[in-house]
Amino acid sequence: NAGVTQTPKFQVLKTGQSMTLQCAQDMNHEYMSWYRQDPGMGLRLIHYSVGAGITDQGEVPNGYNVSRSTTEDFPLRLLSAAPSQTSVYFCASIKRGALSTDTQYFGPGTRLTVL
Amino acid sequence: GQQLNQSPQSMFIQEGEDVSMNCTSSSIFNTWLWYKQDPGEGPVLLIALYKAGELTSNGRLTAQFGITRKDSFLNISASIPSDVGIYFCAGLNYGGSQGNLIFGKGTKLSVKP
């Protein structure tokens, strides 16, 4: 298994540009989530999904859209990038059931800078 | 929204020392998790706790789920240089989706050889 993969690893955008951060997992996990990590802030939930076709908002959803058309993929879209969206973005996947060290994984992150 | 208060924010210790960090919340959680994040990497789950009072170990790491369900601590015994990183607690509350974890702000651990 490749685990959770994220692309790109680094991205620089200009204010107002749009882009999609990709996340994929090959473990057939039901739950997938997007977090952003800012210095001193820990990880904050943006959006999450409990299965294909089902998404919900997290703590900081404004400025981001998601969709979950397949179990494997959970892309995060920035429709009009703003400097406040400069951050490191992590995707996570979780297998339904009791959380354990072999049922929950984070991707390596996407480092986004918005100028 | 819900918050987890994690302390200390940072620690500088000598190799071989024991480390203790904790998380508290005003809300009840039904699952507590402890993660470690190395520079440039995503967090990795170290320990998961499911029941109030539960004490769980993973090698030199020991974590406990507080009796009140509002706190948890993580101990690292006999620290080594590779323990360096940021440690996060996270909680999952009753009725919450497993996709919706709430994280503390992290404890940055530095170990001097």
Q: Residue B7 pLDDT > 90, yes or no?
A: yes
- Is B9 in contact with B109 (CB distance < 8 Å)? no
Please tell me the distance from the alpha carbon of residue A64 to that of residue A39, in angstroms, as a whole number: 20
Q: Report the residue of B56, B101, B105 to disrupt the A interface, i.e. the one with the largest count of A CBs within 10 Å.
A: B101
Residue A100 to chain B, least CA–CA distance (Å):
6
Contact B102 A107 (CB under 8 A): no
Contact A48 B46 (CB under 8 A): no
More confident residue, A111 or B101: A111
Contact B42 A104 (CB under 8 A): no
Q: What percent of chain B has pLDDT over 70?
A: 92
Q: What is the DSSP string of B72-97?
A: EEEEE-S--GGG-EEEEEEEE-TT--
Q: pLDDT-derived band of residue B101, with 50, 70 and 90 as boundaries?
A: confident
The first and second tokens of residue A1, run together, are 């298994």
- Nearest alpha carbon to residue A76 among A49, A103, A94, A42: A49
Question: How close are the terminal C-alpha atoms of chain A, in Å?
Answer: 36
Please tell me the distance from the alpha carbon of residue A71 to that of residue B49, in angstroms, as a whole number: 27
Q: Report the residue of B37, B51, B100 to disrupt the A interface, i.e. the one with the largest count of A CBs within 10 Å.
A: B100
Q: pLDDT-derived band of residue B96, with 50, 70 and 90 as boundaries?
A: low
The per-residue pLDDT for A39 is 83
The per-residue pLDDT for B52 is 92
Could you read off the pLDDT of B14-63 as tens digits, one per residue? 999 999 999 999 888 888 999 999 988 999 999 999 899 999 999 999 99
Please tell me the distance from the alpha carbon of residue A90 to that of residue A112, in angstroms, as a whole number: 11
Please tell me the distance from the alpha carbon of residue B73 to that of residue A66, in angstroms, as a whole number: 34
Residue A28 to chain B, least CA–CA distance (Å):
14
Contact A41 B50 (CB under 8 A): no
The first and second tokens of residue B35, run together, are 């993660």
Q: Residue B94 pLDDT > 60, yes or no?
A: no
Q: What is the DSSP string of A49-107?
A: EEETTEEEE-SS-TTEEE--SSSSB--EEESS--GGG-EEEEEEEE-SSS--TTTEEE-
- Is A58 in contact with B100 (CB distance < 8 Å)? yes
Q: Residue B2 pLDDT > 60, yes or no?
A: yes
The per-residue pLDDT for A1 is 60
Q: pLDDT under 70 in chain A at which residues?
A: 1-2, 101
Q: pLDDT-derived band of residue B84, with 50, 70 and 90 as boundaries?
A: very high
Contacts of B51 in chain A (CB under 8 A): none
The first and second tokens of residue A33, run together, are 């989530």
How large is the C-alpha radius of gyration of chain A?
Answer: 13
Q: Residue B95 pLDDT > 60, yes or no?
A: no
